[in-house]
Amino acid sequence: MAKDQIKPGDGLGKYVLVASIAGVIVLLDQWTKLWVDADMRLYQSIPVIDGFFSLTYVRNKGAAFSMFADFPDSFRTPFFMVVTVVAVVGIGWFVRGTPREDKLSLISLAFILGGALGNAIDRLAYGSVVDFLDVYVNDWHWPAFNVADAFITTGVILLLIAGFVGGGAPQSEEAKT
């Protein structure tokens, strides 16, 4: 058998790992968003750490930093769904090429996948994403974000770290030689 062929059942565990972690993230993300939507009024802010962190309920029709928020729904919804499908396919491709021993990369990919799916659910169901984590210093506010966004960001950072410590993005056989 050629070394680049996968034996039956080889690596199935890594798909279960990624899907399980992503599923937990989606559940956590959706639960927090449902909680905020049920218990807070839109634009309500609850200080948690005075001068640094509040729970502030906003809805974001755009992407990060409200990019594309002013575009019509007829563009935004299909655009974000295509981006999500491309991300899911890309993550699947990376998982396929990542050795099952490279747990840091696999967990990183699961974080990104779970976050992407969590936000996609909001976009399909409501046409916007519930954001509520508000980090700030005095009057300077980072754009509000949610659990899905936090996992996407953490996943990207961990994937970069994995790349520096020997894991990271899979390479083709040609790139390894």
Active site residue 4: no
Helices (H), the chain: 12-39, 73-97, 103-126, 147-164, 173-176
Which of 111, 102, 97, 87 lies closest to 28, judged by CA?
Answer: 111
Give me the catalytic one of 29, 102, 134, 149: 149
**What DSSP designation does 173 have?**
H
Set 29, 102, 122, 131: catalytic member: 131
Whether 149 sits among the annotated catalytic residues: the reply is: yes
- What does each C-alpha distance from 113 to 19, 23, 68, 128 come to in angstroms? 8, 9, 21, 18
Residues near 83 by beta carbon (within 8 Å), at least 6 away in sequence: none
> Which amino acids are annotated catalytic?
131, 149
